[in-house]
């Protein structure tokens, strides 16, 4: 069950161009190259940024007064595992299961982690030294996974 169904993810407007550049499917209907746009959907990029923030122990960033846009419809979280992961993150963040009755709060928490991770994710992709974005990101994520496995 997707408790986030009917909600949407708002992101700061300053990240819109990065989602257009690094995601295969764009809002205008065009399609980017997979080598340079390693994320099939915007939710995949958003979730990766969230995971990087959690992994690095970054403090969540609450959206400020900057202009934002409706980036992602949460109906895409119907895959089950992703909405479950966001629910577990909210419980861990708040230290209480009471948050389960508040889907908006759970999504706000998840989004604050994603916003914290986006600058790191963008830097990883942009500073790829001639590698394709897909190769460089894949190598980074493999290294991150190996580091976590050895701890």
| pLDDT tens per residue, range 7-66 | 999 999 999 999 988 998 766 666 677 888 899 999 999 999 999 999 999 999 987 778
- Under a CB-based contact definition with an 8 Å cutoff, are residues 115 and 46 in contact? no
Going by C-beta distance under 8 Å and a sequence separation of 6 or more, which residues neighbour residue 29? Answer: none
- E-assigned strand segments in the chain: 8-12, 68-73
Could you tell me which of 2, 4, 1 has the C-alpha nearest to residue 106? 4
Q: Which residue has the higher pLDDT, 93 or 36?
A: 93
Going by C-beta distance under 8 Å and a sequence separation of 6 or more, which residues neighbour residue 147? Answer: none
User: Taking every pair of C-alpha atoms in the chain, what is the biggest distance, in angstroms?
Assistant: 48
Residue 129 — very low, low, confident or very high, per pLDDT cuts 50/70/90? confident
11 forms beta bridges with: 69
Residue 150 has pLDDT above 90, yes or no: no
pTM here is 0.90
The predicted pLDDT at position 130 comes to: 78
The predicted pLDDT at position 57 comes to: 93
Average pLDDT of the chain, as a whole number: 89
Residue 134 has pLDDT above 70, yes or no: yes
Q: Is residue 150 classed as helix, strand or coil in its secondary structure?
A: helix
| Interval 114-143 mean pLDDT | 90
Residue 147 — very low, low, confident or very high, per pLDDT cuts 50/70/90? confident
- 87, 8, 27, 21: CA torsion to nearest 10: -50
- Under a CB-based contact definition with an 8 Å cutoff, are residues 99 and 106 in contact? yes
Q: Is 148 exposed, middle or buried (0-12, 13-18, 19+ CB in 10 A)?
A: exposed
What span, in angstroms and rounded, lies between the C-alpha atoms of 90 and 34? 32
């Amino acid at each position: 069950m997707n408790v986030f169904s009917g909600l949407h993810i708002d992101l700061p407007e300053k990240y819109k161009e990065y989602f257009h550049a690094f995601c295969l499917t764009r809002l205008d209907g065009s399609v980017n190259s997979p080598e340079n746009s390693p994320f099939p959907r915007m939710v995949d990029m958003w979730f990766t940024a969230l995971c990087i923030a959690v992994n690095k122990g970054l403090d969540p960033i609450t959206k400020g007064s900057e202009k934002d846009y409706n980036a992602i419809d949460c109906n895409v979280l119907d895959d089950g595992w992703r909405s479950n992961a966001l629910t577990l993150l909210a419980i861990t963040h708040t230290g209480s299961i009471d948050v389960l009755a508040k889907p908006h709060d759970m999504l706000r928490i998840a989004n604050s982690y994603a916003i914290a991770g986006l600058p790191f994710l963008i830097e990883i992709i942009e500073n790829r030294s001639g590698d394709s974005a897909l190769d460089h990101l894949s190598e980074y994520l493999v290294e991150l996974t190996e580091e976590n496995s050895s701890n």
